[in-house]
Amino acid sequence: MHRSGVVMAWNVFKFCTSLRGLGYVMIIFFLGIVGVTYYAVVLTNYGPALYFGGIGSLTSLTVLILFHCLLVMVLWSYFAVVFTDPGIVPPNWKPSVDEERGEADPLNGLELSNLQSDASNKNVRYCRKCSQPKPARCHHCSVCGRCVLKMDHHCVWVVNCIGALNYKYFLLFLFYTFFETTLVTLSLLPNFKTFFDDGEIPGTPGTLATTFLAFVLNVAFVLSVLRFLIIHVSLVAANTTTIEAYEKEATSKWRYNLGTRKNLEQVFGTDKRYWFIPAYSEEDIRRMPVLQGLEYPSRPGFDSQEF
């Protein structure tokens, strides 16, 4: 019985890791939706309307400018989530305090020391899959097969975990996607209504089908993204994650809640000029509590020599 249980657990873990392949399909699917939407809005409807003259041209120009600005931010935020490591535990990381007693700094809980720890020490959080200690607010992702700092969830849409280093980019992706899809929905609504009129509908069957499909897809995204955006804004305001929201006791005071302003600064940085950009200022990279005391692999925007 014991052996079969081990085999079953191993098979489930292998199934989880195989889900990474689905993520690459979802990236293609996402880019496909972007392509269909671009064709419907720019090439089929509002691009040609620029040449009609009058108030229609001005409206089309306004829609196209807003559409392209938002599209740039959506794609920038999206690929920032995809290519940014969410935060890994350094190979030889050791806890400096007894985190189970709450002695760690609530600003990070990610300090380094030379203290020895092992799985037999009940006062140290230890990952049996990674066979190493793990900091506070760190969780093991069965899909990625590693521990992730301040893990929120694994997102198949970006083939990546959402964690300490890319959570801001994920939030901005939701934010700009909501406004982009809302703009597309409102822009294509008059064209969508013509499908239910008795009069003749201008355009080829291909362009009409693309407009109809783009409208339906963007309406679906508006409704779903708005729900996720509201959930994650509330999580950020309380300085918690999706995993922690399910794990913590509802009646207990959350020790990482430092107030709305400081909670927002932990995710978006202290330099408000960068809050709506998927990047951090150099000063914020040095000062962000979640980055203090840890060394990360060198990558654009996060030089391990700075920590």
Q: How many CA atoms lie within 13 A of 232 on its CB side?
A: 20
Q: What is the DSSP string of 15-78?
A: HHHHTHHHHHHHHHHHHHHHHHHHIIIIIIIITGGGGS-THHHHHHHHHHHHHHHHHHHHHHHH
Q: What's the pLDDT score for residue 89?
A: 84
Q: Which helix (H) or strand (E) holds 184?
A: helix 167-193
**Cα gap 17→11, rounded to integer Å:** 10
Tell me what pLDDT residue 119 has.
42
Active site residues: 155
Q: Which residues of the chain have pLDDT under 70?
A: 1-23, 96-123, 198-201, 249-251, 288-307
**Residues 6 or more apart from 6 whose CB is under 8 A from it?**
none
CA dihedral over 148, 151, 156, 160, signed as positive or negative? negative
- The pTM score is 0.81
User: So what's the pLDDT on residue 105?
Assistant: 45
Q: At what angle do helices 55-83 and 167-193 cross, to 10 degrees?
A: 150
Long-range contacts of 233-239 (CB under 8 A, 24+ apart): 233/171, 235/152, 236/171, 236/263, 236/264, 236/267, 237/263, 237/264, 238/263, 239/263, 239/266
158 alpha-carbon distance from chain centroid: 8
Helical (H) or strand (E) element with 126: strand 126-127
248-264 in b/e form (b: 16+ CB < 10 A) is beeeeeeebebeeeebb
Q: Rounded to 10 degrees, what is the CA torsion of 207, 208, 214, 219?
A: 160
| Residue pair 144/136 in contact by the 8 Å Cβ criterion | no
Write out the two tokens for 162.
Answer: 């959402």
Q: Are 136 and 292 in contact (CB under 8 A)?
A: no
Instruction: Tell me what pLDDT residue 250 has.
Output: 61
What does the angle CA 147 – CA 135 – CA 154 come to, to the nearest 5 degrees? 30
Q: What pLDDT does residue 20 have?
A: 63
